[in-house]
Structure 1
Amino acid sequence: MENNENNVGVLLVNLGTPEAPTAKAVSAFLSEFLHDQRVVDMTRWLWCPLLHGIILPVRSPKVAKLYQSVWMDEGSPLMVHSKRQQAALEQILDIPVEIGMTYGSPSIASAVSALKDRGCNKILVLPLYPQYSRTTTAAVFDKLAKSLKDQPVLPEFRFINHYYSEDSYIDALAQSVEAQWAANGKPDMLVCSYHGIPKRYADNGDPYREHCLATTEKLIARLDTDVAIKTTFQSRFGREEWLQPYTDKTLEQLPKEGVKRLDIISPAFSVDCLETLEEISDQCHETFMEAGGEVFNFIPCLNDSPAHIAMMKQLVERHTQNW
């Protein structure tokens, strides 16, 4: 046990990433991700042939090229930033902190084992999704439960469902926006682009959309600015309707409405990854400029910024009280 008298450890969980920017690695990752019924709830006998016969063979080489464009010297951006978060949070808390990914490596099971090996019999699970969704937060819970099925003795667990309205989270977002404005001036509009989910999931009770809108409203109140602020949803997949307004379609329209200077932030992502570094910073930049925009600034995710780590510390301390 490493300086952990109360036997408490923290499990940080994010979505996961391919182990390499290759078609083979991307296919393996997407296969695990898209097999999860929390993510795609289509009947298996319809979905699996489509996934393996068309989607993976066609998409994997294309997605691998996108990963190659953002890959860092130390590896995948999501993994690099996640490791930095883990190191910073462990240092400030002085208790064991491990990373587990819902899909790929390191797995949730391996992270739980690592915490147990470090003497932890009480584990706080912190999914790094500020806004709850069945497709993300609930999928973490499923994987955690599955990983423990064969364990004769279970640690005690606590699970953080969301933190979309936490003042410290909103303040960290606001600080990142204010730093951008201090360095480059204010834009005509700030777009808050959240990862999308199928509209049907929200219609069936997933609170994700309400959580995203609440985050934006709290950010508006915190910034107290005359800059227009708008919520959009990115990264849709497939043919069915997803949450709207869509980010890319919005960026095509905004220059026609007089918005020439645009800042964009992705509050649902705790670390920069393919969806922010390639889709937003690259594709959306191109979309906006081709539509007549003049200035486009992507505000990075919170990553391992001091305000973000301080927020995590506050969450951990509150949720481990009396433990």
Structure 2
Amino acid sequence: MSKGVLLVNLGSPESTDPKDVKKYLDEFLMDPRVIDVPYWFRAFLVKGIVLNTRPKKSAEAYSKIWWEEGSPLIVLSERLQDKIQKQTEIPVDLAMRYGSMTIEKALKRLTDKGVNDILLVPLYPQFAMATTETIEVLAEKLRKEKFPQVKLTSLAPFYNKPDYIEVLSRSIKEKLDTTNYDHLLFSYHGVPERHIRKSDITNSHCQIDGSCCKAQSDAHRFCYRHQCYETTRLVGEELGLKPGTFSTSFQSRLGFDPWLQPYTDRTIERMGKEGIKNMAIVTPAFVSDCLETLEEIAMEGEEIFHEVGGKEFTTIPCLNDRDDWAKVMSNWIGNWIENPSAINTVNLAETQIA
């Protein structure tokens, strides 16, 4: 079989025009794995409320972080793809879950090159319904309907892989070595608490009570909360961080249902009020800098910190297109080429994804 790789990231509006942002938000928020409520209520919420109020504000936020070349997330993903391709003999393509850079177009490009054995790489370290799962669901649906000759295998979440932890830790250390900081905050994208319970394959383990994530369970294979805390723990060990000098929080909540806590914005505010003067913050749920890191954290987060008396607010870049990160990804691909069983993957045709 002829092998190829498909990297998939979240996506971006075509521009900062409110019309383009509205179109993007419509596709993104109408995904039933992003807002997992009955269709009629999701349509009422998204089309009746959000799309009538949020596009202009989101467009203004995008305009603050937009690069001359375009969306930072797209540009950085393309740079990573290019670096990986230069280290890999097989075709490496790139798609976005939402927007014009569709998974279908990328699958077509790969199959046009004769590829019929594809490694799907969701560019998310941790598993979540609204990230990894929605990519795999759509990719497998497209495979069945339009590319039945293709074997599709997905790279499993890599939140605890030693080489990923090593390069993530190195990226943090490089910044901290030139920074005076009192506390390092690991901020992950938030999800509703119900997503954690829905992803619990045991139907009983996840209590979100502060202890279940530490107890051994098969539920951890799909538990976003556990995987986030485990990433923090492993990086803390790798860097030799002292207890009390680092912690975990969750950002970007939407709506009124309970989301994973503690919330990043409130954590930043609380720490500033408690006397933390120098804070560093890293966002390990993202491999590419984007609106949530460049605007929500680096701009809004810093503003909150300064308003409550904080002095130095240091944001640590995502892995983006770092050479060592591209090398890690290339090594994983090389291992898959030589021995598919040597890396942790999922054969999507054999799963029960619905």
Which of 189, 209, 214 is the matching residue for 2:225?
Answer: 209
What is the identity, as a one-letter code, of the residue corresponding to 2:15?
Answer: A
Which of 302, 305, 309 is the matching residue for 2:326?
Answer: 309
CA drift of 1:152 comes to 5.8
CA shift digits 1:77-97 (9 cap, x unpaired): 110001001100000113211
CA drift of 1:272 comes to 0.3
CA drift of 1:195 comes to 0.2
SS of the equivalent of 1:150 reads helix
What's the counterpart of residue 100 of structure 2? 105
Q: 1:154 to 1:225 in 2, by over 3 A?
A: same
SS of the equivalent of 1:284 reads helix
What's the counterpart of residue 316 of structure 2? 299
What's the counterpart of residue 3 of structure 1? none
Higher mean C-alpha displacement, 264-273 vs 174-183: 174-183
Which of 111, 120, 123 is the matching residue for 2:118?
Answer: 123
Pairing 1:247-258 to 2, within 5 Å after superposition: 247-258=264-275
Residues 1:188 and 2:182 are matched in the alignment: yes
What is the identity, as a one-letter code, of the residue corresponding to 1:223?
Answer: L
Contact preservation (8 Å) 1:124, 1:320: no
Structure 2 stretches of 5 or more lacking a match?
201-221, 341-354
What's the counterpart of residue 220 of structure 1? 236
User: Using the alignment, how far apart are the partners of 1:18 and 1:24 within structure 2?
Assistant: 9
TM-score, scaled to structure 2: 0.87
SS of the equivalent of 1:298 reads strand
Which of 20, 29, 32 is the matching residue for 1:25?
Answer: 20
Q: Structure 1 vs Structure 2: percent identity of aligned residues?
A: 40
**How many residues end up aligned between the 2 structures?**
317
What's the counterpart of residue 307 of structure 2? 290
CA drift of 1:36 comes to 1.0
User: Using the alignment, how far apart are the partners of 1:153 and 1:243 within structure 2?
Assistant: 38
Structure 1 stretches of 5 or more lacking a match?
1-5
CA drift of 1:317 comes to 2.4
Residues 1:259 and 2:313 are matched in the alignment: no
Residues 1:179 and 2:174 are matched in the alignment: yes
What's the counterpart of residue 156 of structure 2? 161
CA shift digits 1:10-44 (9 cap, x unpaired): 10001111011111111111111111111111111
User: Using the alignment, how far apart are the partners of 1:277 and 1:99 within structure 2?
Assistant: 22
SS of the equivalent of 1:253 reads helix
Q: CA RMSD in A?
A: 1.4
SS of the equivalent of 1:184 reads coil
What's the counterpart of residue 87 of structure 1? 82
Residues 1:319 and 2:336 are matched in the alignment: yes
CA drift of 1:151 comes to 2.2
SS of the equivalent of 2:119 reads strand
What is the identity, as a one-letter code, of the residue corresponding to 2:8?
Answer: V
Contact preservation (8 Å) 2:140, 2:152: no
What is the identity, as a one-letter code, of the residue corresponding to 1:104?
Answer: G
Which of 141, 150, 165 is the matching residue for 1:146?
Answer: 141
Which of 290, 295, 298 is the matching residue for 1:281?
Answer: 298
CA shift digits 1:145-164 (9 cap, x unpaired): 22234326421121112000
What is the identity, as a one-letter code, of the residue corresponding to 1:208?
Answer: Y
CA shift digits 1:106-157 (9 cap, x unpaired): 1001111111122211110000000001111010011112223432642112
